[in-house]
Structure 1
Amino acid sequence: MMDSIDYKILQILQEDGRIPMTKLAKEICLSTPATIERVKKLEANGVITGYKAVVNPNKIGLNFNAFVLTTASLEKRDICTRFVQQDPRVLQAYRVTGRFTGCMKVACSNEESFLDLLHNFYDFGVYETYMIVENLRKREIALPPPEEIEE
């Protein structure tokens, strides 16, 4: 069972996964050994599954960022799924409900690469694209508001 301190640890680590344990301990008002023990417990229980570098796609030349909504026919759904799992330009892919059956976030280096990617989606069925013009908020995972955390 997690408590409000565990959620605070998760919140801080999502913002800075490289924060020194001494600084984390000060921010949550615990001793350093107690903080380390809590982080290790969160890791052991599979709550924290890893640490990674978060890369800004625009800074490495991936300037064509978009959402692609697709409706793949039943016959082509498996082929489409394999494609989105293998193409490095597809950052995230989801099966969704509603008018479309799939939603993908893609990042391409230029217009030619983007059009090449879209050509593949044309083979799977209907698609629509929405260019990302501004990132208003990015979080890896939402945490419950403090008032919803049971002690």
Structure 2
Amino acid sequence: MLTKKGKYGLKAMVHLAGHPPGEATLVTEIAEANQIPKKFLDTILGELRNAGFVNSKKGKGGGYTLARPAHDIRVGHIVRVLDGPLAPIQCASKSSYRRCDDCRDEKRCAVRLVMLEARNAISRVLDERTLAEMRALADADEMRLMYHI
């Protein structure tokens, strides 16, 4: 399940993707526009900065910008940075695999096999979607609301 940290991080990234490249956005603007507690958002943006997704600049004209074009950022990568592996259980994880202590035959474990299927489905969706596509979904929804479509 996506945590609040992951959800807020995605919202912040979609917000930044809505601004022209290089145009800095203040954390207070992102927080207010997306109903995210500012202090929590500061922490999230710090993690995203450390992972190379955003740049930050202090002082006048400062704020946050995307470090790469939105079409080069995969949603799955953001989620993994903020929430960790996509797999529901560790024995189904590609990046944080750990065998279960109580498993006799991992290759025939029905729980693991279904969780692998779930992990692969989640990964397929999140790793194929870009931040630009998420932003386009938000823009299309905004247009529908404006024009009552």
Normalising by structure 2, we get a TM-score of: 0.31
- Greater strand proportion: 1
State the structure with more CA Rg.
1
The structure richer in helix per residue is: 2
TM-score w.r.t. length of structure 1:
0.31
